[in-house]
């Protein structure tokens, strides 16, 4: 009996607090159908593919929206990988780098469902270790860029959600 009272109280408390997930606010701004274009970098085309996959995944799982063609989309996202860099952040006793920080900068312009154009710059970072006296392997490099890109995309989602909270959509 007491467990039921606690369960009912918890459900009432959570239902009454007004919590809404970010997808509710992002949908107010960008709608249900989204066209995504990731500009391919000529210097680093592999990273552009990683970012395109991460953005498509975010549209489906975080925006809770669908990817659409340009003509049928309620909004359009244009994303450019502006910068990727690796900074040493830790050294061993011999002076060799053993940890790096990956920084990714994404430049995003989007047309919301009211066809207003906005531009945002978002940043993501990721720290990772390497073996002492070693170079960064392609696998570690790609994984670091993917993780940092995910964080930059999460920052993009947050900024779009804040736009949805602040404005009258």
Pick from 52, 44, 57, 40: nearest CA to 138: 44
pTM value is 0.81
- The Cα 25–Cα 11 span in angstroms is 23
Domains, the chain, in order of start with CATH, read 23-166 (3.30.160.150)
In 10 A of CB 125, how many CB atoms? 15
pLDDT tens per residue across all 169 residues of the chain:
787 877 777 777 666 666 777 878 888 888 889 999 988 777 777 777 888 888 888 888 888 889 999 999 999 999 998 999 999 999 988 888 999 999 999 999 999 888 899 999 999 999 999 987 778 888 898 899 989 999 999 999 999 999 888 876 5
Helices and strands per DSSP (H, E), number in the chain = 4, 5
In 10 A of CB 88, how many CB atoms? 12
């Amino acid at each position: 009996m007491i467990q039921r009272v606690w369960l009912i109280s918890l459900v009432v408390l959570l239902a009454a607090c007004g919590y809404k997930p970010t997808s509710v606010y992002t949908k107010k701004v960008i709608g249900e159908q989204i066209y995504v274009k990731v500009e391919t970098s000529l210097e680093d085309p592999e990273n552009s593919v990683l970012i395109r996959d991460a953005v498509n995944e975010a549209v489906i799982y975080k925006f809770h929206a669908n990817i659409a063609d340009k003509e049928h989309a309620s909004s359009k996202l244009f994303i450019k990988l502006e910068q990727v860099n690796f900074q040493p952040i830790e050294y061993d006793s011999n002076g060799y780098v053993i940890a790096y920080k990956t920084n990714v900068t994404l430049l995003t312009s989007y047309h919301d469902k009211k066809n207003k154009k906005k531009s945002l710059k978002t940043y993501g970072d990721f720290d990772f270790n390497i073996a002492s006296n070693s170079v960064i392997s392609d696998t570690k490099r790609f994984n670091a860029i993917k993780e940092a890109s995910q964080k930059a995309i999460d920052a993009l989602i947050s900024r779009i959600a804040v736009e949805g909270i602040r404005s009258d959509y």
